[in-house]
Amino acid sequence: MEKTLGTESETILVVDDDPGIRNLLQAGIQMAGYQCFAAESPTPALAVLEKYAVDVVVADIKMPEMSGIELTHIIKARYSADVIIMTGFIEDFNYEGIIKQGASDFLQKPVRIAEFIARLKRVIAERRSRIDLKLNLEKLRRAMEGIVEAISVTVEMRDPYTAGHQKRVADLACAIAQEMQLDEDTVYGLRMASVIHDLGKITVPAEILSKPGQLSALEYELIKSHVQAGYDILKQIEFPWPLAEIILQHHERLDGSGYPRALTDGQIMLPARILSVADVFETIASHRPYRPSLGLARAMEEIRENRGRLYDERVVDVCLALIQEERFNFPS
């Protein structure tokens, strides 16, 4: 889509089957300094929306082809424009109901042009604020990604194997979360936690991390300390997601046999439940410095046998379905 006339001012589209109202509003909008298109019905209006980046649509509520409410639904589904609805049948509609349908404002006909322009400017100002907020949030998200990436690189420099493990676990955890239809922000936070979930292993001697055979009781306690260490490193950073807590909980088990706090079923957050299944599955299925891969079949057996006891039932079911139906594969 493109702006018309080579300017950066907002573009308004007026949709009304009354030519007198169309012309009046278009003249007022242009005098206020905005670009303006006009359409006599929804079909040509949608053609304009396809071609140009329209910021605000001003639509009558009763028109041929479809109502202004139906047009609003299409606009909100396909485009980023705000919508102002107008009607002369004020007794048939109310402000709250129209706003719930997706409109940004609701005006009664006959329209007083000064009031209309004032309301239009308010909608535009709110729109600009939302856009600025979105840009600032995107900058914040990029900054958070940079922090997490820096942490991940630190882990990779200390132990290249651990970094690869974390990335594979993150891929599986996010595939499970998406299949469970968790919201985008929760999935994003889960990925951030997953790619650094073993951060605390930088405090564990490398020879213990890669030791073949049985660990001593003391060595195992050192391994277990990595979740608390990771939590302690991250807890002072104000991420938009509970990364430190997810990492702290990813070795907890439903029956209370996990660590470090022996949490039980209702005390373990869902992202940590997902991460724990993905972590166990990848650990078994993938190669280790001290042993070859035990295979997908053994990994599936582990989570299936302990479904509902150690691991969340729904998470296990989704993980198994993804693997069995070949809708997820670890990158080679």
- Adjacent-strand bridge partners of 15: 39, 59
- Candidate list 121, 167, 201, 235, residue with the active-site label: 201
> Catalytic residue at 201?
yes
What ranges in the chain are assigned the alpha helix state H?
19-31, 42-51, 68-78, 95-100, 113-158, 160-179, 184-194, 206-209, 217-234, 243-249, 270-285, 296-305, 313-324
Alpha-carbon distance of 215 to 26, in angstroms, equals: 78
Which phi-psi region, left, alpha or beta, contains residue 176 (left: φ > 0; alpha: ψ -120 to 50)?
alpha
Q: Which two tokens stand for residue 316?
A: 């296990």
Query: Are the C-beta atoms of residues 37 and 52 closer than 8 Å to each other?
Result: yes
Q: Is the dihedral of CA 8, 10, 16, 18 positive or negative?
A: negative
How far apart (Å, rounded) are the C-alpha atoms in residues 297 and 295?
6
Residue 111 phi, psi dihedral angles, 5° rounding: -80, 130
Q: What is the DSSP letter of 44?
A: H
Catalytic residues: 201
